[in-house]
Amino acid sequence: MVMLFFGWYPILRPRIARMTSPLTRLAAKVLLCSALIALLYGLLLKLMGPATDLAGLSPVLTVMMLVLANLTFLLLDVALGRLTALWHRRLRNFPFH
């Protein structure tokens, strides 16, 4: 499931980066992350059944978990950007032989 969530994002990231407004880029990333979390949660419920349902949790806790997941995703995006810059500056021509 992690590959379903993070495996394709480095491919999509340059398209999001081409958006002109920083607010639009942020909104796209948050909406993308939230939609994928909802999809993965739905798949989990479908595969594991209602015993894994978090319906007993308060709505506040559910919203807090979604906010923390989005913050983690945005931190991943920053780290990916820094690693990409490092790759372009230093590691691209590094002799691995």
Taking only the tens of pLDDT, the chain with its 97 residues reads 556 666 778 788 889 999 999 999 999 999 998 998 888 877 877 887 665 555 566 677 778 888 999 999 999 899 988 988 888 887 776 666 4
Asked if the structure places residue 22 within a domain, the reply is yes
Asked if the structure places residue 96 within a domain, the reply is no
Domain assignment of residue 17, given as a range: 2-91
Query: How many distinct structural domains can be found in the chain?
Result: 1
Asked if the structure places residue 97 within a domain, the reply is no
Q: Which two three-digit tokens encode residue 17?
A: 């980066």
Asked if the structure places residue 51 within a domain, the reply is yes
Asked if the structure places residue 12 within a domain, the reply is yes
Taking 3-state DSSP, the helix, strand and coil percentages for the chain, each rounded to the nearest 5, stand at 80, 0, 20
Q: How far apart are CA 32 and CA 15, in angstroms?
A: 13
Q: How far apart are CA 43 and CA 89, in angstroms?
A: 40
